[in-house]
Amino acid sequence: MLGLMQDRALLISTIIEHAARHHGDAEVVSRTVEGPIHRYTYAEAGRRAKRVANMLGALGVGFGDRAATLAWNGYRHFELYYGISGIGAVMHTINPRLFPDQIAWIANHAEDKALFFDLTFLPLVEGIAARLPACRSFVLMTDRAHMPAASTIPGLLCYEDLLAAAAEEFAWPAFDENTASSLCYTSGTTGNPKGALYSHRSTMLHAYASALPDSLNCSARDVILPVVPMFHVNSWGLAYACPMVGAKLVLPGPHLDGRSVYELFEAERVTMSAGVPTVWQGLLAHMKQGGLRFSTLKSTVIGGSACPPAMIRTFQDEYGVKVLHAWGMTEMSPLGTVCNLKSKHLDQSAEEQFRVETTQGRAVFGVDMKIVGADGTDLPWDGKTFGDLYVRGPWVVRGYFKGEGGDPLVDGWFPTGDVATISADGYMQITDRSKDVIKSGGEWISSIDLENIAVAHPAVMQAAVIGVAHPKWDERPLLIVVRKPGAELTREELLRFFEGKIAKWWMPDDVAFVEAIPLGATGKMLKTRLREQFRDHRLPTA
């Protein structure tokens, strides 16, 4: 027997319609590439998204076509999210920090029919436009006054001109909720990038789940500033969750340094933010230097790579900001787990609570997870045994765009490539990415654990631990460190800091001090690069 409830498809256009209708006066504030702060409301965004829909029709972008963006977090990008997906076309956000050759490869693989880009990326697009045969329209996301006098891109279009020429009346079409809505390529540290192709249904379910109190806890009383880019897994879904709940949205544009972000936090009375640890390092350094305080910030989501416990402590103890340690990946839209205490933890000591808070947290409802051993058998949830982390759920990929890489699933589960433990209460902790794990004498050493200890040292700004070849033990840990500006620290002092905190055989064999650690396109430490750089490093014990 079937239920008797209405069969209304879960479509992304309903989010912007709802926000415009029910939160019409809630603001979207953007720091623009052109300079000034721009403000409008969800009502205005809803109207402009309809103009986008009409503009796409005029450009010949239709149902199922891919339309790409190279853009920072800003209001035009936001409207494109809704206009493009709303007509049943596919919003393809490209990470502009990739190399031009990779960008061209991705745009060609996706067969993007139109490319919308911020002024910042004009030189980049001029360099690759001739290599994008499928792309018929190049649209600069600016107004007439900021259009270049000349460009090597033939027929370069002006976004505001196109929007002005497009009608504001548009009825969002209804279609199957399983229709593709947006496309995001994994960074492809090994091999070519692969496209995760989200659907309206997966995006909507993910938005509901991520707004829940024990997820990212988003509401109409919040002012949310995603530092995480809209080209990095849809700013972790916040581009959908914020208008869904009616939160005021603050978009930081191209300026993601500590000072610019702090200024926006204060000026716009931001209550919640989200970003990778490297972004927060910059912000915290700026705060410390200037003796600054947050007047409204209550919580921040930290994920994308492990948030060092020292950073959680600084946010919570020194600034009273709750850290929501979250884990996920492009293939998971991206949310998998978020760390929040259960009521039973509230009676425990601060130390015990903190121990829980350093994990990546519990699975958000909708995500099912398990850890398995090398032979594929399930491993116990005891908080100690670690194994390969597998997931499944309605916003987890079942394959990549155009079948790239074959069938990724194992008995219906997606292998994440992460190694983790899960406690009896379901708190998951990432030990490593499987390719970063250090294999010493047949045992595994967690690079994340060692990095977390190193960054707790007051003279350490950043730390990465990689495995270096060792004649007897296969691999041994090498600690690579960036000191804080002006700080003095020797190899011996730093190694002494590890004593008593880890098993003896986990002790890094050597320390290398560097000026900077290379970061990838999503702001994570590039360990592949470090491994190349230190391939011939001779350990003192070797």
Pairing between β-strand 195-199 and β-strand 438-440 as defined by DSSP bridges: unpaired
Q: In this complex, which beta carbon is closest to ligand ADP, that of residue 50 or of residue 527?
A: 527
Question: Which span (111-119, 163-171, 266-274, 412-420) binds ligand ADP, by CB under 6 A?
Answer: 412-420
* Cβ atoms of 358 and 309 closer than 8 Å: yes
H-helix segments, 172-299:
200-211, 233-236, 238-245, 258-268, 277-290
Per-residue contact flags (x/-) with ligand ADP for residues 428 to 467, judged by CB under 6 A: --x--x----------------------------------
Residue 319 CB partners (closer than 8 Å, separation 6+): 287, 293, 294, 297
Nearer to ligand ADP, 254 or 303 (CB): 303
CA distance linking residue 138 with residue 154, whole number of Å: 9
Contact 302, 279 (CB under 8 A): no
Phi first, then psi: give them for residue 249, nearest 5 degrees: -115, 130
Measured from the CB of residue 233, what is the shortest distance to ligand ADP in angstroms? 6
- What residues numbered 363-392 form the site for ligand ADP, per CB under 6 A? none
Q: How far is the CB of 416 from ligand ADP (least distance, A)?
A: 5
Among 417, 423, 426, 526, binds ligand ADP (CB under 6 A): 417
Residue type, 31: R
Q: How far is the CB of 217 from ligand ADP (least distance, A)?
A: 17
Query: Which position among 522, 523, 530, 534 is part of the footprint of ligand ADP (CB under 6 A)?
Result: 522
Closest CB to ligand ADP among residues 107, 324: 324
Which residues are CB-contacts of 211 (< 8 A; sequence separation ≥ 6)?
217, 218, 219, 241, 244, 245
Residue number, 55 or 450, with CB nearest to ligand ADP: 450
Please select the residue that binds ligand ADP; options are 303, 308, 309, 477, rule is CB under 6 A: 303
Residue 183: CB minimum distance to ligand ADP, A: 14
Cβ-based burial of 190 (10 A; exposed 0-12, middle 13-18, buried ≥19): exposed
DSSP 399: S
Structure-token pair, residue 335: 């949310």
- Which residues are catalytic, by number? 186, 331, 439, 444
3-class SS at 487? coil
Among positions 308-367, residues that touch ligand ADP (CB under 6 A) are: 325-330, 334, 360
Q: Is 305 in the site for ligand ADP (CB under 6 A)?
A: yes
Closest CA to 242 of 284, 179, 301, 159: 301
Determine the straight-line distance between the first and last CA of the chain, rounded to whole angstroms.
Answer: 70
Smallest distance from the beta carbon of 485 to ligand ADP, in angstroms?
A: 26
Alpha-carbon distances of 467 from 308, 374, 474, 506, 529, rounded to whole Å = 20, 20, 9, 11, 13
Using the rule CB under 6 A, which residue among 38, 146, 298, 524 binds ligand ADP? 524
Q: How many whole angstroms separate alpha carbon 105 and alpha carbon 194?
A: 11
Residues in contact with ligand ADP, counted by CB under 6 A, come to a total of 23
Measured distance CA(180)–CA(199) in Å, rounded: 4
Number of helical H runs and strand E runs in the chain:
17, 25
Nearer to ligand ADP, 20 or 389 (CB): 389
Q: Which of 416, 421, 431, 446 binds ligand ADP (CB under 6 A)?
A: 416
What does the block give as tokens for 533? 């750089």
- Residue (137 or 182) nearer to ligand ADP, CB: 182
Under rule CB under 6 A, which residues in 184-203 are in contact with ligand ADP? 186-187, 189
Residue type, 9: A
Q: Which of residues 68-127 bind ligand ADP (CB under 6 A)?
A: none
Please, are residues 388 and 434 in contact by the beta-carbon 8 Å criterion?
yes
Nearer to ligand ADP, 69 or 360 (CB): 360
Tell me how far, at minimum, the Cβ of 428 lies from ligand ADP, in Å.
9
Applying CB under 6 A, which residues contact ligand ADP? 186-187, 189, 303-307, 325-330, 334, 360, 416-418, 430, 433, 522, 524
